[in-house]
Amino acid sequence: MTNIHIVIIDDNIPNTDPLIRKLEKNYGKENIHLFSTSQDGLNYLLDNLIQRMVVLLDIRFPATEKDGHTILQELRKKTELIPVVIWSANECSQNEFIDFLKNHAFSFIKQDASTQEIVFELEKAIQSTSSNVDIAIEQWLEKQDNKDNTMLVSKSGNNYSANDLIKEIRIQTDEGKHLVSNINKLTIDLLFRGQEKI
């Protein structure tokens, strides 16, 4: 499976924090990305949508910066496939909570949570992506010998390499959504035909 990238967007956490150390140890230093400004974090996410990622996002940022709500909202305009764990020192108001739910926040965790609790929450988010259809397709595509070679051609003349397809799925283009929907339809089809044991 492709590496998971953990993106932490928080203006208060130094890269020497025990949480960062722990995550680097568990997932590899190169897969941990810490951003102290919300825009930089958002830019990284939007520039790397084809990666498999999980986000730990603070809500409050200085008044000159986008807050966590805006970051999540802007991310969701592009993809719903990246789980975002909301991490905040403050209690959410009811409206904030509803807003996060609307934008498919994965979960909420208080900033005074222990390193172990945060890692556990991130692990749950990572596991949630493992059971997604897009990941299943990605895993299948990853097995292809040369991922840049054309592997799928339509009779109307379009063609895609495995890498093209992974990208289409990750950034949730119409074609990507179509492929994911196709797998769901296949699953339903197998169930209805009594082939669930296949």
The dihedral built from the CA positions of residue 179, 184, 187 and 192, taken in this order, carries a sign that is negative
If the CB atoms of residues 71 and 137 are measured against another protein, the closer one turns out to be: 137
Closest approach, Cβ 177 to another protein, in A, equals 13
If the CB atoms of residues 4 and 141 are measured against another protein, the closer one turns out to be: 141
Residues that bind another protein (CB under 8 A): 136-137, 140-141, 143, 149-159, 179, 182-183, 185-186, 189-190, 193, 195, 198
Contacts of 46 by beta carbon, 8 Å cutoff, 6+ apart: 74, 75, 78
If the CB atoms of residues 110 and 185 are measured against another protein, the closer one turns out to be: 185
Token output for 155: 């009779």
Closest approach, Cβ 147 to another protein, in A, equals 12
If the CB atoms of residues 53 and 166 are measured against another protein, the closer one turns out to be: 166
Closest approach, Cβ 82 to another protein, in A, equals 22
Q: 169 and 176 in contact (C-beta within 8 Å)?
A: yes
Q: 77 and 106 in contact (C-beta within 8 Å)?
A: no
* Tokens 């074609």, located at residue: 175
